[in-house]
Structure 1
Amino acid sequence: MKFRFKALQRMREPDELDSPTLLASPRGWIATFVVLIIVAAASVWFFAGRLPVTVPAAGLLTHPAGTARLQSPYGGTVRSMLVRPDEAVQRGQEVAVITVDSGRDRTVHSPFTGRVVAFSAVDGHVVGQGEELLLIERTDTPDDRLVAMLFVPVDRAMGVVPGKPVDLSVSSAPPGAFGLLRGRVHSVSSYPVMLEHAADLVGGLEAARGYLKGVPARLVIVDLERDPATPSGYAWSTQNGPPARLQSQVSVAGAIGLGSQTLFDLLLGR
């Protein structure tokens, strides 16, 4: 019977009990260390890393007094509308002529200063007393300026207080091209805004329903941060923002910053 040389040699040698045993290759140890480092970093970030907390809200750019509906004090036929959309009007200015049932012409005057946003009547239209003629954005408050009006659902309004930072996505200035408009919370309404009040501010019931979405909301006024170095005159997340000045009555989507919290606290619902 023949045996291979290596087999016979192994039988003659004693057991190598004191020889080191290779448990893993150097490449395996490197992979293990990398995994341990990643797990340790993730654990630290889980307890110490912070995530921004924001509250989303829809709204529009406008003036603090919002819009107002100019109603006809007379019933009759509209003989002539004396102003045009986007035209500035002064308090006491003639805005329409109504021919009443007796055949006499009655002049309607604007009770406030502002800018014509929309018409509800045209020449030849028959209107009743108290029926809406014009929608005017008021600019006659002492602190008149361009602001953002946001409607924050009541269940998300906790923590929204004056001074909080706000980033605004303006529909007329796509954020992908021009960045986000910067602002800060100026005031928060003490009570939820009713649909009728919101309609007076934004220019009608349909617009108000779009912002409130059927849930109670608090009105948040946002002051826009000024920056004379930009074409718009306001601060943006990009260097210059859009190449033109901002217009009012433009829809915005806001993100109100409430601070930050750890992922651990977020998972616990704190």
Structure 2
Amino acid sequence: MNFRFKALQRMREPDELDSPTLLAAPRGWIAVFVVMIIMAGASLWAFRGSLPISVSAPGLLTRPLGSAQVQSPVPGTVRQLLVRPTDSVAANQPIARVESLDGTSAQITSPFAGHVVGLGVNEGQVIPTGQTLATVERTDAPDDRMVAMVFVPAARAVGLTPGRPVDLSVSTAPASSFGLLRGRITSVSPYPLTSGELTGLVGGDLAAKTYASASAPRLVIVDLVRDTATRSGYAWSTTNGPPNALGTQVSVQATINLGSQTPFSLILGR
């Protein structure tokens, strides 16, 4: 009898049009409203939000003309090295004395002024023609100063123009303690560097490997922003920066700021 009573109740239900029907529980409506608010916020952010665009690349602090290798024009034995690393040399100053196979002695001079950053031979070493005797960081540019040379892969160099701000993480001044060194792009090479050009700028094949990438890099020269209030004489993202002066031949990691774009544009690949 109980089963029959329930069956009759169900048969009468379609005719009970005046009875209220519960479409959703209050908790269900709250969940719907929360999802709608999140979707509206996400849509607004997608069209009105802003994502920074930047390019990162390795580089080093140096002079505008970079470094160059002084090579021996004659074969023979290195009898005397006349300079040491950190020495300053003038144009046409002797840097080594090489004794050729016939016993004659030749003094090898530096064709430009600069600072010796490394030696390629030892005294008593027998060398062929073209052997690198010393690597010299050139200081004979008319506008000699400290700059950052940044080597950006050619595929990522689109949009790099003079005046763009650059943040430099300096290896000898950790960013976590002293902040980032400020700079601005001065020039961008119109063509990618060849392996020979890169080797010549940084002073050797070993150093060039540090800055080489899968694609030939473009050379970006970054001028450092000066600030006489800091110990280094340059502007940093912190108030004071490091407590000592900056030196050249120091590696940096550059972050070049290219502006911003909306998340929607990023999705479309614009």
> Quick check: TM above 0.5?
yes
Q: How does 1:245-256 map to 2 (within 5 A)?
A: 245-256=245-256
SS in 1 for 2:140: coil
**Partner amino acid, structure 2, of 1:178:** F
Quick one: distance in 2 between partners of 1:32 and 1:230? 56
Give the deviation of 1:195 after TM superposition: 0.4
Structure 2 unmatched ranges of 5 or more: 1-15
Alignment of 1:48-59 (within 5 A): 48-59=48-59
Contact 1:195 1:209 in 2 (8 A): no
Aligned to 1:210: 210
SS at match of 2:256: strand
Secondary structure at the aligned position of 1:142 is classed as coil
Percent identity, please. 55
Match of 1:98, SS state, is: strand
Mapped pair 1:95 → 2:85: no
Q: Deviation at 1:29?
A: 6.9
Q: Summarize deviations over 1:38-87 as a string: whole Å, max 9, x none.
A: 43332211110111101111111111101111011222111111111111
1:241 aligns with 2:217: no
SS of the residue corresponding to residue 80 of structure 2 reads strand
Contact 1:165 1:183 in 2 (8 A): yes
Counterpart residue number, 2:62 = 62
- Give 5+ residue unaligned stretches, structure 1: 1-14
Q: Deviations over 1:167-222 (max 9, x none)?
A: 11111111111111111111011111000100000111222233122312211111
* 8 Å CA contact 2:167, 2:256 repeated in 1: yes
User: 2:21 & 2:193 partners in 1: Cα distance?
Assistant: 78
Structure 1 stretch 69-78 or stretch 191-200: which is displaced more?
69-78
The CA distance in 2 between the partners of 1:143 and 1:109, in whole Å, is: 24
> 1:227 aligned to 2:224?
no
SS of 1:149's equivalent in the other structure is: strand
Pair 1:131–1:259, CA change in 2 (3 A): same
Does the C-alpha gap of structure 1 residues 111 and 266 become closer, same or farther in structure 2, counting only changes over 3 Å?
A: same
**C-alpha displacement of 1:105:** 2.7
1:182-221 to 2 correspondences below 5 Å? 182-221=182-221
**CA distance in 1: counterparts of 2:235 and 2:144, whole angstroms:** 19
Aligned to 1:5: none
- What's the CA shift for 1:28? 7.6
RMSD between superposed Cα atoms in Å = 2.2
The separation in 2 between residues aligned to 1:138 and 1:246, in whole angstroms, is: 17
What is the match of residue 127 of structure 1?
Answer: 127
- Does 1:166 find its partner at 2:159? no
Instruction: Provide the TM-score with structure 2 as the length reference.
Output: 0.86
Q: Which amino acid aligns with 2:236?
A: W
Q: What is the aligned length?
A: 255
Question: 1:23-62 to 2 correspondence within 5 Å?
Answer: 35-62=35-62
Judge conservation of contact 2:71–2:130 (CA < 8 Å) in 1.
yes
**Partner of residue 118, structure 1:** 118
CA distance in structure 2 between the aligned counterparts of 1:179 and 1:19, rounded to whole angstroms: 67
